[in-house]
Amino acid sequence: MKQRLQQKSSLQNIAFLSVCLSLAACGDHDDTQQTSQNIPQLSPAIGKMLKGSCSDLQGYQYNHTTISNATLQPAGTLTVAGKNIRAHCLIQGYMYQRTSPIDGQIYQIGFEMRLPIDWNGRFLYQGNGGTDGNIVTATGQVGSGGPLSNALNDGFAVISSDAGLNAAQNPLFGLDPQARMDYGYGAITKLTPMAKDLIRAAYSKYPDRSYAGGTSNGGRHAMIAATRLGEQYDGILASTPGSHLPKAAAAQLYTAQQLRRVATDENDLSTALSFDERKVLAKAILDRCDHLDGITDGLVQDVEACRTAFNIHQHVPVCTNQRDGSCLSAEQIDVLANIYRGPINTKGQALYATQPFDPGLLGKNWASWKFESSVGTARDPVAVGIVFQVPPDASIMQNSRQFAFNYNFDTDYPKLAAVDQTYQESALSFMLPPDELNLDKLRLHGGKMIVVQGTADGVFSVDDTQHWYDQLISKYQNLGWG
Ligand SMILES: [Ca+2]
């Protein structure tokens, strides 16, 4: 296995660690990567025109599947960033409609597929973000390359889904065990073979190549495709993957508790660290680390060198009086050191991952995750308390901030791994890849994988992803495949 690891950094909060896993080949070709495993080199996909009329697909039949709409979308019906998108067939439907025995609600895996009239022979599963619940338009935008790089306009057949819950059911779908599992891995597992079969019905052949991509939770979906469904996909783009999402969400509650210690208003955690104070920290990081990559440009691109060059306890100006935006208090420094170290329990065990110091903390996205998502009803507390833990607690919707502040990393955190009679799969089972170090199914048929991770991500740790990558490479090298 050839490996190539690149670290890239860009403006402010958008810094990337990009990892290219040469499962067979990655980017540029190199014959030396061929190993004794004789991994096949995949042939190019061959395009084809949609056969018949789009509306004929209204009658498409597949187990547990209902097609509710099949309508031709002439070129320009859909626009992305002001650009007309090519003519395609829009298919809307749902799979596995059912009534929950837990909450009496009707659940289904809603989806849309967009099939180009002039198809390039490829299929893309578009993984969406957050706790899903919306069928994001299936343009095939997976978080990299900008909106105009969307796969649909490049000729891919694209599917997008709500992962088994609608917006009104979010986040209380976590009370239904099947909805939890569909969100975790069931939706992509059920949709993938149907989507390929629908493509066969539309073009008289299955896709030559199949891809899964997404960012954040969508990147997690892509990781699920790589591991659970590796034999069904040829290419994976996991951007900022929330591979260990329940742990990362719990880490956010730890962040909230730390910020609360220095917040002047616990109902507004941004008072724990003003923008001027974030600039103090960012400047201190840049002073020590910017030049280490050879160019003083406001970017820290040598992340590893910065780990030893910058020490928050030594290199940040400490306030001698009141906080005034030109320094950090000793307690603020302690809080930040804890946040970047990550949560621990009273035994000192690390429960998620460290994060590297990066000036990207000046970004709005970083601030939103730290100050708002960590306590709000839209993300981390309700995800942890309603979707991930066993048993769930619906009352967290009314007191998400206090839930975050009072979350106990000795007694509550283990609930992420808990099961009971009703919830027989834990969040660490349904959200995580089942064996994240086993990519054999993807690799052995010639699949490829690209992972991109921001070093200033507000929630998902690049160190967590790096750790996975290091373990993965070590494993396959030890097997003699490197
Ligand atoms: Ca630099």
Q: State pLDDT tens for residues 58-81.
A: 999 999 999 999 999 999 999 998
Q: How far apart are CA 448 and CA 98, in angstroms?
A: 36
Domains of the chain: which residue ranges? 48-245+436-478, 246-429
For residue 12, CA distances in Å to 284, 290, 305, 363, 465 come to 14, 12, 18, 6, 20
C-alpha 8 to ligand 1 mean position (Å): 10
C-alpha 291 to ligand 1 mean position (Å): 5
Instruction: Say what the pLDDT of residue 26 is.
Output: 41
Cβ(449)–Cβ(435) below 8 Å = no
What CATH class has 48-245+436-478? alpha beta
Question: Confidence band (pLDDT; 50, 70, 90) for 7?
Answer: very low
Of 207, 231, 198, the C-alpha closest to 151 is 207
**DSSP E strand stretches across 45-156:** 48-49, 65-73, 79-80, 83-84, 88-99, 106-116, 118-119, 122-127
pLDDT digit string, tens, across residues 170-228: 999 999 999 999 999 999 999 999 999 999 999 999 999 999 999 999 999 999 999 99
If you search the block for the tokens 């891919």, which residue do you land on? 156
**Lowest model confidence (mean pLDDT) among 26-35, 125-134, 206-215:** 26-35
Question: Confidence band (pLDDT; 50, 70, 90) for 137?
Answer: very high
378 or 258: which carries more pLDDT confidence?
Answer: 258
Of 27, 241, 65, 287, the C-alpha closest to 142 is 241
Q: How far apart are CA 5 and CA 3, in angstroms?
A: 7
C-alpha 10 to ligand 1 mean position (Å): 9
Instruction: Say what the pLDDT of residue 149 is.
Output: 80
318 Cβ contact list (under 8 Å, min separation 6): 327, 328, 329, 330, 333
pTM (2 d.p.): 0.92
Instruction: Say what the pLDDT of residue 37 is.
Output: 58
CA 64 to chain CA mean position, Å: 28
Question: Confidence band (pLDDT; 50, 70, 90) for 167?
Answer: very high
C-alpha 308 to ligand 1 mean position (Å): 16
C-alpha 310 to ligand 1 mean position (Å): 14
The average confidence (pLDDT) of the chain is: 91
Q: How far apart are CA 13 and CA 248, in angstroms?
A: 18
C-alpha 304 to ligand 1 mean position (Å): 13
C-alpha 26 to ligand 1 mean position (Å): 27
Cβ(266)–Cβ(478) below 8 Å = no
Question: Confidence band (pLDDT; 50, 70, 90) for 144?
Answer: low
The three-class DSSP label of residue 83 is strand
On the question of pLDDT at 31 being above 90, the answer is no
C-alpha 9 to ligand 1 mean position (Å): 8
C-alpha 127 to ligand 1 mean position (Å): 33
